[in-house]
Amino acid sequence: MGFADITPSLRAVMPDLRGRLIANEPLAPFTWLRVGGPAQALFTPADVEDLAYFLLNLPAEVPVTVIGLASNMIIRDGGVPGVVIRFSPRAFGHIAVEPGHRIRAGAFAADRKVALAAAEAGIGGLEFLFGIPGSIGGALRMNAGTRSNTNPEIEGETCERFVAAQAVTRAGAIVTLGPEDMKFAYRSCGAPADLVFTEALLQGFPRAPEEVQAINRRVQEHRERDQETRVRTAGSTFKNPPGHSSWRLIRDAGGLDLRVGKAEMSKKHANFLIAHEGASAADIETLGEEIRRLVRARSGVELEWEVKRIGVA
């Protein structure tokens, strides 16, 4: 059973809309975990002006959710009420090298492609993006980054390379944000939650293309060795609590043996959960909550979800 079709009433108040607006569109195929229900209405803006027009005219009571490449997201089985915004690569996937070792990238540009463009242009400092399977919009919202105990050259965090972002407010204004507006912290950004990021300007430094490519390769090797790369996951499930590693807390609490329905914790990286064929969002979320309960009971530490859970059960 789907949601009520709100698209005719939305179109009626937005006669000049150019993007695509579809009712009850399944979202699972867009996500890394391949689970979850439909969007009540899925909007794909034609460009930034179209997005601004849409948000300006969207009735205030309609909730808005943005998804990027959905690599850090559980979409619940009942789907997402209101409007889900998902960009097209054509309109928001641009990547341009600018003077001063800078890269301007659309919010739907894949992090990996940005890292490849940086390598080609001889720009260092963005190699960490090579291993993150999300989009630039998701990197801004999550302050995506990588830490390594063994190899500092593969480390990096979005906030360290950030110069400016373009976004559209819920009221439909196109705005530019600087570092102080973003309020970056560990895997989070404190800029207003209803901003839709449309573009980022990132700063690198000179580094020979071969050197950047070699680091990109080491990023990949690190991933293949230490993480799940060939199954359905959403990356790190929980943030590392101050002074702790989530994977260690989960392992020590016996979480590695836990399975709910078709979801289980990874034996390779205890903070990754795996969705097997046929898993539901409920299996995955219940598993995560069970892990939190185990860790709380064993160590007294409260794990905080890094993965975003959206929609209704």
Question: Where along the sequence are the contacts to ligand FAD (CB under 6 A)?
Answer: 32, 66-73, 107, 131-135, 137-139, 141-142, 144-146, 196-197, 227, 229, 233-235, 308
Instruction: Between 71 and 240, name the residue whose CB sits nearer to ligand FAD.
Output: 71
Both structure tokens of 217:
């390769």
Phi, psi of 98 (to 5 degrees): -120, 160
From 16, 34, 15, 27, select the one nearest 233 (Cα to Cα): 34
Choice between 125 and 131, CB closer to ligand FAD: 131
CA pair distance 118, 77, nearest whole angstrom: 38
| Six token digits for residue 17 | 């809309």
Alpha carbons 302 and 292: distance in angstroms, whole number? 7
* Residue 99 C-beta: closest distance to ligand FAD, Å: 25
CB of 178 to ligand FAD, least distance (A): 17
Q: Closest by alpha carbon to 254, among 209, 228, 300, 290?
A: 290
- Alpha carbons 11 and 107: distance in angstroms, whole number: 25
Instruction: Output 160 or 298, the one with its CB closest to ligand FAD.
Output: 160
Closest residue to ligand FAD using C-beta atoms? 138
User: Distance (Å, rounded) from C-alpha 295 to C-alpha 298?
Assistant: 5
Cβ proximity of 7 and 23 under 8 Å: yes
Q: How far is the CB of 190 from ligand FAD (least distance, A)?
A: 13
* Residue placing its CB nearer to ligand FAD in the complex, 6 or 91: 91
Enzyme catalytic residues? 187, 236, 306
User: Taking the CB of residue 157, how many other CB atoms lie within 10 A of it?
Assistant: 17
